[in-house]
Structure 1
Amino acid sequence: MIKDLPQNVVKDIAIAVALESENAERKVWYVYLINLKNIPLETVLITSKGYGEKDGEQVKTSVLRHAFPTIPANSFKLIEPIDEQTFGLTNEYWLSYYIGKEIFDKKFIFLPESIIDDNFIKLPVVNKPGVMIL
């Protein structure tokens, strides 16, 4: 039964959008997975997509899939670059990983217009400015 399934809660894992660089013409943004645990993550799978309304029309981005064999303890991994034009959409990242034989998964959602300067922090481990969801 469903009550017999383990309650594997995702803790100390974050998805972050970081400002990588900027000049007068444009800003460069990357999305990172941050492992704040003292143990590695194994068989990491991430899907990403954007969706919402832009200029009065429904918009969907392509679904991208990423796989990483291992993410070491207290480290980060570059997932993908992200275009600033998608910040007005909902950006969703679905993460699955193993620790030993146990599987964990969590959906991280950046709401429209949440990736703004007012929400910036110094991202742990990555040491860049950005927005993070734990």
Structure 2
Amino acid sequence: MRKDIEISEVTGIEMAVVLEHNETHNTEDWYVYLINNKNVDLDMAIIVSQGFSEKKTTTVFRKKIDKLKANSFVKVEMIHPDVFALNNRFQVSFFEGTQIFEKTFLFKENTIKEGSLRMISSLNKRGVLVK
């Protein structure tokens, strides 16, 4: 049975944490984005996120995205700077056609900070990117 299960490598999907201006509150806030660099749409993407360390764990957050168009991105959630001292894990599951894929993205503790921001061309914004 196990030999029949095919686990394919996930490529073309990235997560980014971006510092951007919030026009509503006139503040600079941090946001998480899911980026689809594939030439195919992703269906029913489920994102499960949690911050953790040896001593602390945050609440689990879940988000469903019905469709993420090819070569596009979506804003997933706002993220508070207090959790940057923790490891922040994002588990992403999605369908590509009839096949399900899963990939885990990890922003290691203290790696999300203004000094680490780089231009992310697919977003045309500065942020921290995990592939």
Shift of 1:27: 3.4
Tell me how far 1:2 sits from its aligned partner.
2.1
> What's the counterpart of residue 67 of structure 2?
70
Amino acid at match of 1:111: K
TM-score using structure 2 length:
0.90
Counterparts of 2:3 and 2:113 in 1: how far apart (Å)? 40
Q: How far apart, in 2, do the equivalents of 1:121 and 1:2 lie?
A: 41
Q: Check conservation: 1:8, 1:103, Cα contact below 8 A.
A: no
Unaligned runs of 5+ in 1: none
Query: Deviations for 1:44-85, whole angstroms, at most 9, x for unmatched residues?
Result: 0000110115xxxx2211101000110001110111000011
TM-score normalised by length of structure 1: 0.88
How far off is 1:112 after superposition?
0.4
Residue 37 of structure 1: how far off its partner (Å): 0.6
**Alignment partners' CA distance in 1, 2:57 and 2:12:** 30
Contact map agreement 1:88 1:112 (CA 8 A) in 2? yes
1:108 aligns with 2:109: no
**In 1, Cα distance between equivalents of 2:28 and 2:111:** 16
* Structure 1 runs, 4 residues or longer, greater than 3 Å off: none
> C-alpha distance in 1, partners of 2:107/2:64?
21
CA RMSD of aligned residues (A): 1.7
Distance in 1 of aligned mates of 2:109 and 2:9: 26
Runs (5+) with no aligned partner, structure 2:
none
Deviations 1:75-134 (A, max 9, x none): 101110000111100101000000111000011111001112343221132111000111
